[in-house]
Amino acid sequence: MKYLISGVAGFIGFHVCKRLLQENADIEIVGIDNLNSYYDVNLKFGRLQELGIDNQVEINKYKESSITDKFRFIQMDLSDSDSIIKLFDEEKFDVVVNLAAQAGVRYSINNPKAYIESNIDGFLNILEGCRHNGINHLVYASSSSVYGLNAKVPFSENDSIAHPVSLYAATKKANELMAHSYSHLYQIPSTGLRFFTVYGPWGRPDMSPFLFTDAILNNRPIKIFNNGNMLRDFTYIDDIVDGVIRVINHAPTSSDQWDNINSDPASSSAPYRIYNIGNSKPIQLMDFITAIENTIGVESKKEFLPMQQGDVYQTYADTTALQNDLGFMPKTELNEGVKKTVEWYRSFYNL
């Protein structure tokens, strides 16, 4: 089996790639990432080094892993349509795992064009590559952000996503619609995953678990939005990866039983599926901060701020569908996950 993993130098992409390489003897993975400077490129190279790729990479040129013959890396941008189509034509992938995107809710307020180029144009290039090369399964990242103004909790895949509150969320909703149209027109099996606040070792520096840990260990005040009155469905990375791999191994099929009058928006007569993937145990933001403080042994300095544009009060995943269909069940308790995250941070940054 040959896999394409886009965003392989990113937080989730790196972990998914590493697990697949560890658990599958008969596998070949090509990983791509544009290595942009949205956050610290040194962190992205650190992840790649764990996969046997040093920092001497060149755009659109293959780099062989030094630790396994099952992995190759290419620095490539999803919006480079010629390069993406050439890659698909040459490699003939069996499975595509699209985890590349311009991430971040707040960043989308001031940098909207980056989201169209990566999340819309780039995703279209992925879909076109799948269309013309007989892909067995496309798995792609959506986001809990699509629920927007929806106040019904827990968030279910059957709920409306009609009112996103950031351009980032709108692009993720668009990805789901685009994937469905290609699944319907060209019978491409596709599964979208709505991720809920993923944290853990090698995490993103723009997300609160990393920001809080970084600030406390460097004796800076942490910024707490909405005066701390927020709930997040924090989900540890190992649990997320378990869910992603379960999904990869179970491509959806077409069904003539789908009811197009009382329709389920998370499934279709096409080979198409949407799943929430989260912990289903929302945690008060202040409790998460306390867990970090207890692990480090230091009480943080706090700066309380109002709600930011594009943010929502709470996220809470109903993962019943993923549990029933594929046996997904998160196992990592908060204190254990926070402990492993802090230990990784201290090790990586020599603190």
- Specify whether domain 2-196+235-278+317-331 bears CATH 3.40.50.720: yes
Better-scored residue on pLDDT, 189 or 230:
189
Instruction: Answer yes or no: are the C-beta atoms of 28 and 69 closer than 8 Å.
Output: no
pTM: 0.95
- In percent, how much of the chain has pLDDT > 70? 100
Q: Report helix, strand or coil for 140.
A: strand
Reported as a single tens digit per residue, the pLDDT across 23-73 is 988 999 999 999 999 999 999 999 999 999 999 999 999 999 999 999 999
What's the whole-number mean pLDDT along residues 277-284? Answer: 95
pLDDT at residue 349 is higher than 80: yes
pLDDT reported for residue 277 = 98
Q: Which structure tokens are listed for 231?
A: 């709930």
Neighbours of 123 (CB within 10 A): 24
Reported as a single tens digit per residue, the pLDDT across 124-159 is 999 999 999 999 999 999 999 999 999 899 999 999
> What pLDDT band is residue 262 in, cutting at 50, 70 and 90?
confident
pLDDT at residue 308 is higher than 90: no
Nearest to 282 by CA among 117, 192, 155, 138: 155
pLDDT at residue 85 is higher than 90: yes
Mean model confidence pLDDT for the chain: 95
Phi-psi region of 31 (alpha: psi -120 to 50; beta: other; left: phi over 0): beta
What burial letters (b/e) apply to 185-207, b meaning 16+ CB within 10 Å? Answer: ebebbbbbbbbbbbbbbbbbeeb
pLDDT reported for residue 18 = 98
Whether the CA torsion 348, 33, 330, 308 is positive or negative: it is positive
pLDDT reported for residue 229 = 86
pLDDT at residue 313 is higher than 80: no
Question: One-letter amino acid identity for 350?
Answer: N
Q: Please identify which of the residues 115, 168, 199, 345 carries the catalytic annotation.
A: 168
Q: What is the largest CA-CA distance in the chain?
A: 59
pLDDT reported for residue 110 = 87
How many Å apart are CA 166 and CA 146, to the nearest integer? 9
Q: Is 168 a catalytic residue?
A: yes
Concatenate the DSSP letters of all residues of 148-198 into one string: TT---SSB-TTS-----SSHHHHHHHHHHHHHHHHHHHH---EEEEEE--E
Reported as a single tens digit per residue, the pLDDT across 214-254 is 999 999 999 998 888 889 999 999 999 999 999 999 999 98
What's the whole-number mean pLDDT along residues 293-320? Answer: 89
Nearest to 348 by CA among 32, 63, 50, 22: 50
Reported as a single tens digit per residue, the pLDDT across 90-127 is 999 999 999 999 988 888 988 999 999 999 999 999 99
